[in-house]
Amino acid sequence: MASPAVPADSGAPRPPAADPVAIRRCLPPALREAFDIEWDTVLDQAKADKTLDGIRELLAKWRGIAAAEQRSPGSHSRLLAKASHILATGQHPGARSVEDLRDLIEERLGR
């Protein structure tokens, strides 16, 4: 069955299955290593807790990262670099001011 977010005929890459092997296959080496470290940690925790909740959350998170990497290789690294810049400087390049956003909302509401 096709994912509702990606129509079968769109030509866009489909997200990998919620399976560690399928996810790893879509990741570049550096992210694959990060996935493996997190997988081992979550797997150990799942054994201790006797619950699969952490594994499901990890697979959902990394499935999204893998899908983004399929669409635009390097996207996760760019996201992390942008977040680091924002945290370090307090500035978001290209972001609108609060006043601009309020004006846009007012305009869209027809006020």
What is the share, in percent, of the chain residues with pLDDT greater than 70?
90
Tell which wins on pLDDT, 60 or 1: 60
Is 111's pLDDT higher than 90?
no
Alpha-helical segments (H) within 1-111: 20-26, 29-49, 53-71, 75-89, 98-109
- How far apart CA 85 and CA 91 sit, in angstroms, is 8
Confidence of residue 2 (pLDDT cuts 50, 70, 90): very low
Among 6-10, 87-91, 105-109, the least confident range:
6-10
94 Rama class: left (phi>0) / alpha (psi -120 to 50) / beta: left
Residue type, 95: A
Please provide residue 36's backbone torsions phi and psi, each rounded to the nearest 5 degrees: -60, -40
Residue type, 61: K
- Which pLDDT does position 8 carry in this prediction? 55
Mean pLDDT of the chain: 89
